[in-house]
Structure 1
């Protein structure tokens, strides 16, 4: 893996224009080819992960890639770069085709002189959980994961709180501090050393050496710097070995390393001496570096977004959700690495065997195909926990729960004791040049010590706040909304306008999104049907269903302007694919609500589309006048009262390449569309349902099975009369849910092994065929067992 130097690679600013003129004005530089023989684009040639643009904003620096070339070859690195969410997730998911074996390989190979320094220190870093292939990886992960479970981590909370409190005490009255040097570097490192079981007297020495490991693996040190880095890394290796020997003398001590030492006699082939030594060194870096950077990023983000900072100060229960959104928006790990073990394909791009991959989580976490308005921080974002900052699949970060705990405790301390803290203005944020880890080297803040709340109310120091170790559980964080308007839209249909009671802007949303409203004793989902760019309000349309469960009757008969509701979301399980060439929109009755937003978007973006709208009569069809006005030349209306019905077989008789069909309406219409598209490409039909067939489980028709939880090492038995969701909750695993009818997708969990009996109406045919996720409220195992990535 050597780097390739070129004028284009060294001068990104002018690279594109220079290359456009390189071959008679052609925008492609035909003199530069990727390993498959295809020309390298100007943007790909100019990509520089050590440049200032990437260091300051990696997601922004790769926006062009997500939009135009989501998988590209970088001659500067000698790597294929993967930038979209689904592609990055797919690579993480398949650790056989995409081996993690190069995850810790040096980006910049050391010189002979630097390697000689390492050799002199006996440096012999072996495989660790991070870069180990199967089956060895999972054997060791399962053997060593117990100390990382939330139950086992709980007792570390007191240590974290004590350390955080002591460090804040040191500067609470100063009025100004660099939080990195005063606290954010030191506390996570100390916690990491405690977790590993390092004796107190050895902590200071190991602290000094740990930073060199990051530069050694992911940085680009100069030849002169390499020797100094190698010296520190070598000493780090030697000293960590000495500490490990000390632990072996008394393996009864607490800590992850003593835990491994105690297991070693039972599993000598799995837990070897060299493996423990390597994990000792790697564990210090992993547990320290990511948490320190993640917390620094989070504090900067929240202080820059003052309204949201003030919200978590006023309501600390928002902190766990804020942590997840900060991890999504600016996670500590920018990118990770894999190598292809065979010829394969990513996102339609052929990848040759032996190709090295840089999979950029920071870019994936800002992919608008998965996250609505991804470049805006929203601590109530419904799917923030879907971020890939901890990776995904069997190699997902083992220490993620510990990192979450530390971040939550630190935010609790700062929001309680320094809610008036602000960023020092006009400071320059600098980053250590490397491909994978990112966080400001300094974070200067200031405050007025006279306004410290504890000066007037010392009891705030005694407040006991809870941490959540399993990530966001239960329902998404709700926000308060007021009813601004209620208007008749059609017979038995009202359009309701909702707004923030304080006039604050609402999150942007994408066509197909819905919100969950809580009112009286009801919780119901409604599609958004207004203008996604109007952040002053949301609009929903509700049809009164006399035979329903009462929610629509309440909204029609009892709701009044000025009423206060609780709202969660928006979320989107019915997302419009921006890469489709053409759309066919089909709506039945109130199913027009998501479809009209999709049609508006297609018109704005210049996509080819057509709308087929079915209803009983003109008076019962919501938004008909607006559809005629805005989409008249694309609209066909079918009124059953006039004997005009949609012939779905005729409409969809001939599959059209690049065409996607989006449909929402009653079950009868959707079933007919499903039947009429069986000869179309898989997943050409995308549907949103109003109802499902999920009913009460009949034990006589079901069978019991076991669910193995890969990350927790727990096996949960699911009886014939119980859902997976109920069984998981009974075992102490907090899986979120809403509808519990297979309609909303909230209770989705990732599946590692086993065949799923899918009973939801959320997943597409292709998603069901992949078998890598399920809805726990209704779906079950086809066989005797499933393995979930929980």
Structure 2
């Protein structure tokens, strides 16, 4: 349904926390004063950088000595190119060590070297390929029973107490035990390991005082020695299980790839990485859900919401706030020139709340259909290898707690956090409940009634919220307009012009653009009855009634409007008026100049005419064919002023003609949205198998004749967003590095197909069974 789009911008910057409008002149001052160890960033990193996302998405922070990157697309671009944006400074102390601290570290023979998180190519990918097998989804399934057993034992210990600190009681120790089990490390000295882990975080990402650096240096030195002792013990167990045993064996088999220094450094780094991030993310998850009580109650009533709720928690309040990169050559990022050696703080927490990618991004919404696009795990070659075991733990924690303690609530408390640039989660999380209301006191079998979920990211098709049909209005003989509301009178998510939702009714899932006014308390969609279609519209026309409850996915916007153009030409054909009307509403609100052209076979069949005439009469031109007023597309295109943009939605022939007419115009002039995907389906009898090389991951994936490229990539443990799975929405787009593509989508323009640099992985294939190389 949605086609190519431009990023939306918010021209008005606001001061963090006060909400006051900021003049452009204040932006350099905000950049100069930015301090990640100061109150606003430590309190809420995403909100503290809202001003930056809106008006200065890449800026230099002299107090830190880093360039700060705050927008989603820019952060993803940095992650994508690990050659130009090297990870070499990821584990560099952000606060330089004092001479005394350096001497203390030397006394412990501390020699932390590169690990997988901060090494460059080709060493990184060689090691990653050699050590990746344990992290593939199919090999992680075996850990679910162990995670659930540990979780259940911890809950058993406190379920009748009525009050507990979830961090001390479960959310620190269980992730640590899971990490040690996964690594094959002995499960001893947990308290010592906790001290070591905190010291490592403060040493690398914190701002300890000179006096504190002394204590931290001793703890880090002892941690280094402890890691070396554990390795020596493990070397005496050649048949040991777990990832570190596998790493030690690889050290013996391919010492030039998995070196001695690498084994020691990785042991120390991964003990922290494998549990600290999951512990903090799980604590954030419970705090967020119990603060947003309706979401918690919805999960208690419907556990199938858990996988996406976890992703939304990772997006909204992930444990990894920011990461670092360093340029290896001069470059430009979002129009800002960066010198060679520039150090970047890329703030994922800010990108995760960027309205240019996530609708109503500042709102927590467990039904968000693209929550899995979050950047908390990073992206590209260095994406977190342990992401799926972390997801598994968080899902089991949430499933067990919502089933056994649905009446859980936050206790009154003040939350404290370990000050640092990159990791975030409360030190403690006190919760309380009435043990007399524990459901298993009445139904003991509830303790065992677990529910597991497939390993990996949730599929968008599994995410849906309930809505009620408030009103059904017949616009014309063949078009009905539905007004949808929340059954419990909750506010529906905010949305932007061009957004769509997906209605799930009967056996049909169908996408429809929103045509009401953004900000209304209800959604409006108009549905054309298509007797020659696939049956969904006819089913809705014949069966849906006012008062009926339906399921809905979204809203999601893949037809986003660039609000910075000097003029807009809006063109709609037939039912394509729905997203175009929302765009006209938005442009009128902004005071932007626009012309609106609406074509249809007959005036009586054209929907929403009353509102169009009332709200947009001065800009509106109708083109009903039955009155001989056909649209002159060449003339419309010829009158587009310099810098003007065209947005169109309608039948394929309309869009094809406009694409041809705008071929010589500047890139970004023409934007479109299709009604349907056409014939993009898979026909196994006619398909050829092919290979896909994932350049960033170092994997070679086989795509069978009866399977899609998207499914093969997901099975390899690589996250790729997806929605429609029929080449209509563009959410599964991947960058192509090499190979010829058999394009089967309706997202890319003719010129984009000829460039052969982008592919929709859900439907398109390699030409003639060839091989593709993708930037994944």
Range of TM-score over shorter length = over 0.9
13 and 295 in structure 1: CA distance in 2 versus 1, 3 angstrom threshold: closer
TM-score, L = length of structure 2 = 0.92
Determine the structure 2 residue equivalent to 1:5: none
Deviations 1:140-187 (A, max 9, x none): 111111111122222222222222122222222221112122221222
- Whether the aligned pair in 1 keeps the contact of 2:137 and 2:715 (CA below 8 Å) is no
Selected match of 2:602 from 606, 610, 617: 617
1:503 pairs with 2:489: yes
- Alpha carbons 2:457, 2:719 under 8 Å: kept: no
Change in CA separation of 1:169 and 1:496 when aligned onto 2, cut-off 3 Å: same
Output the CA distance in 1 between the equivalents of 2:277 and 2:756. Answer: 31
Which secondary structure state, in structure 2, belongs to the residue aligned with residue 435 of structure 1? coil
Distance 1:90 1:736 in 2: 16
Given that 2:690 and 2:703 are in contact with CA atoms closer than 8 Å, whether structure 1 keeps it comes out as yes
| Deviation per residue, 1:339-372 (Å, 9 max, x gap) | 1111111112111111111111000000001111
Partner Cα separation in structure 1 for residue 565 and residue 148 of structure 2: 51
1:8: which partner in 2?
none
What is the number of equivalent residue pairs in this alignment? 760
1:515 aligns with 2:484: no
Question: Are positions 1:381 and 2:407 aligned together?
Answer: no
d(CA) in 2 for partners of 1:680 and 1:622? 31
- How far 1:635 moved relative to its partner? 2.0
1:7 equivalent in structure 2: none
- What is the aligned partner in structure 2 of residue 91 from structure 1? 78
Corresponding residue of 2:8: none
Cα RMSD of the aligned pairs, angstroms, is 2.8
Is 2:429 the partner of 1:443?
yes
CA contact (8 A) 1:241 1:277 kept: yes
The yes-or-no answer on 1:545 pairing with 2:534 is: no
Which residue in the other structure is 1:643 paired with?
628
Deviation at 1:698, TM superposition (A): 7.1
Structure 2 residue matching 1:475: 3-state secondary structure: helix
Shift of 1:730: 9.0
1:155 aligns with 2:130: no
Distance (whole Å) between structure 2 residues aligned to residue 439 and residue 303 of structure 1: 15
Cα distance change, pair 338–506 in 1 and its aligned pair in 2 (3 A): same
C-alpha distance in structure 2 between counterparts of 1:205 and 1:612, whole Å: 70
Structure 2 Cα separation of the partners of residues 143 and 551 of structure 1: 48
Structure 1 residues 118-151: Cα deviation after superposition (integer angstroms, max 9, x where no partner): 1111111111111111111111111111111122
CA deviation vs aligned residue, 1:732-763 (integer Å, no higher than 9, x gap): 99988665431134555676765544321224
Aligned equivalents of 1:107, 1:755: Cα separation in 2: 45
Q: What CA distance in whole angstroms lies between the structure 2 residues aligned with 1:610 and 1:682?
A: 20
CA contact (8 A) 1:412 1:465 kept: yes
CA displacement at 1:641 relative to structure 2: 2.2
Pair 1:581–1:356, CA change in 2 (3 A):
farther
Q: Offset of 1:223 from its aligned partner?
A: 0.8
User: Which sits farther off after the overlay, 71-80 or 734-743?
Assistant: 734-743
Residues 1:580 and 1:12: Cα distance change in structure 2 (over 3 Å): closer
Among 631, 645, 670, the alignment partner of 1:685 is 670
Q: Structure 2: how far apart are the matches of 1:12 and 1:316? A: 36
1:256 is matched with which residue?
243
Contact 1:44 1:72 in 2 (8 A): yes
Q: Could you tell me which of 269, 285, 293 is aligned with 1:282?
A: 269
Q: Does 1:665 align with 2:650?
A: yes
Against the structure 1 CA distance between its residues 753 and 554, is the aligned structure 2 distance closer, same or farther, given a 3 Å change threshold? same
Q: Structure 2: state its 5+ residue gaps.
A: 1-14
Q: Could you tell me which of 192, 208, 223 is aligned with 1:205?
A: 192
Q: List runs of 5+ in structure 1 lacking aligned partners.
A: 1-10, 21-25, 29-39
Q: Which residue of 2 aligns with 1:413?
A: 400
Give CA deviations for 1:448-480 in whole Å, capped at 9, x if unaligned.
Answer: 111122222211111121133211126141122
Give the deviation of 1:622 after TM superposition.
1.2
Within 2, Cα distance between the matches of 1:162 and 1:711? 36
The verdict on how the C-alpha distance between 1:680 and 1:750 changes in structure 2, with shifts beyond 3 A counting, is: closer
Q: Shift of the alpha carbon at 1:653? A: 2.8
Deviation (angstroms), 1:102: 0.7
Query: Are 1:266 and 2:246 an aligned pair?
Result: no
Find the residue that maps to 2:502 and give its secondary structure. strand
SS in 2 for 1:610: strand
| 1:624–1:220 distance in 2 versus 1, CA, 3 Å | same
Q: Give the drift of 1:775.
A: 2.3
Which residue does the alignment assign to 1:531?
Answer: 517
From the superposition, tell whether residues 356 and 738 of structure 1 become closer, same or farther in structure 2 (CA, over 3 Å): closer
Secondary structure of 2:277 counterpart? helix
- The alpha carbon displacement at 1:772 in A equals 7.1
Q: Which has the higher contact order (CA 8 A, sep 6+)?
A: 2
Contact 2:136 2:717 in 1 (8 A): no
1:652 counterpart SS class: helix
Moved more, 378-387 or 559-568: 559-568
Deviations 1:312-335 (A, max 9, x none): 111111111100000000110111
* Corresponding residue SS for 1:503: coil
- Separation of aligned partners in 2, 1:422 and 1:698: 52
